[in-house]
């Protein structure tokens, strides 16, 4: 950005950004940091003005205008840091696309969010990791049949290779996917939802290793998005889909009884006890599915947005009793 008359430019022994105040006097200029420094600038008359500062930062960046405030910062915001958004035209460029496949070529529609991860060992070092070309993992379906069985696929990140084509396993045509190392063997596994409202686990090469019990459309939707997280911090991940929590071997760990957004859930340690909770819809569960808090009435399964609660709206006893989750102390 080109500074107008009256702007100030700070110079130090290290390379630091130039700060433009566009018409402001030298007393209004944002100071630079990075150790004890002296800065020379010109005021509106052209006379040199010299100032010094002892402010410092570990990075040498201007601490006054960081994108995010440092941890624990509760001071006032600096209006000089305000910046107008850059408005322009986004022109995406297609690097590659695919609409025909070696397996089930007519299954070419996608109605889910793909996942990017390295499934195969491209550089032949015995590991599939960040040093390998990442793969794009997704599910396709036949036109007009996204609730029917789809094909689990993976393409190399450069679009040159079909890494995975898994058909005939009743994966829902628009199932969400989760990818992670569930069994700590150094290779990634894939979790999907089936047309029968089950969760399925596939190895990195597409081998089906287990299928969970059927949970029904109110608890597990065909288009649900699973997650993988180590809820209790024991080193072995769990699988979460809506209010359903499974162990790594596919066995049931717990199923929550509230919530009306069973498609997507999130995981976080809300009470800072070292164990993560599951947040879904209007309810929070512990790592075994016990209710920590909910604004919902009790139902047999997590309610869909259109379902009617089984409890009377006037019944206060229908609310869930709190579980062992602790409430964080006020700060």
pLDDT digits 0-9 by tens, 127-181:
888 899 999 999 999 999 999 999 999 999 999 999 999 999 999 999 999 999 9
Shortest CA distance to 289 belongs to which of 261, 258, 330?
258
Average pLDDT in the 263-290 region?
89
Percent of the chain with pLDDT over 90: 46
CA distances from 58 to 32, 34, 63, 271 (A): 13, 7, 10, 32
pTM of the model: 0.66
Q: What is the pLDDT of residue 24?
A: 38
Please say if the pLDDT value at position 218 is more than 80: no
- Higher-pLDDT residue of 242 and 143 is 143
Confidence label for 324 from pLDDT (cuts 50, 70 and 90): low
Is residue 16 pLDDT above 80, yes or no? no
State phi, psi for 65 to the nearest 5 degrees: -135, 50
Residue with tokens 């009790």: 298
């Amino acid at each position: 950005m080109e500074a107008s008359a009256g702007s100030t430019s700070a110079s130090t022994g290290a390379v630091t950004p130039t700060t433009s105040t566009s018409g402001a006097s030298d007393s209004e200029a944002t100071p630079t940091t990075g150790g004890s420094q002296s800065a020379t600038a010109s005021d509106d008359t052209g006379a040199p003005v010299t100032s010094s500062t002892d402010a410092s930062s570990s990075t040498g960046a201007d601490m006054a205008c960081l994108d995010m405030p440092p941890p624990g910062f509760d001071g006032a915001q600096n209006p000089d840091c305000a910046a107008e958004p850059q408005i322009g035209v986004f022109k995406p460029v297609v690097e590659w696309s695919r609409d025909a496949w070696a397996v089930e070529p007519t299954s070419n529609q996608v109605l889910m969010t793909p996942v990017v991860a390295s499934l195969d060992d491209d550089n032949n070092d015995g590991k599939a990791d960040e040093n390998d070309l990442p793969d794009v993992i997704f599910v396709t379906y036949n036109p007009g049949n996204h609730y029917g069985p789809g094909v689990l696929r993976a393409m190399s990140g450069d679009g040159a290779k079909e890494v995975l084509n898994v058909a005939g396993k009743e994966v829902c045509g628009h199932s969400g996917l989760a990818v992670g190392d569930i069994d700590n063997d150094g290779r990634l596994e894939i979790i999907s939802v089936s047309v029968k409202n089950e969760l399925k686990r596939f190895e990195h090469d597409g081998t089906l290793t287990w299928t969970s019990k059927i949970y029904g459309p109110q608890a597990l939707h065909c288009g649900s998005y699973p997650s993988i997280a180590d809820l209790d911090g024991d080193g072995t991940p769990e699988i979460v889909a809506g209010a359903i929590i499974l162990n790594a071997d596919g066995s049931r760990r717990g199923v929550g009884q509230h919530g009306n957004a069973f498609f997507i859930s999130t995981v976080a340690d809300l009470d800072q006890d070292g164990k993560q909770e599951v947040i879904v819809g209007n309810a929070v569960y512990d790592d075994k599915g016990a209710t920590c808090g909910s604004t919902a009435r009790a139902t047999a399964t997590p309610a869909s947005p259109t379902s009617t609660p089984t409890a009377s709206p006037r019944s206060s006893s229908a609310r869930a009793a709190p579980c062992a989750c602790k409430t964080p102390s006020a700060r």
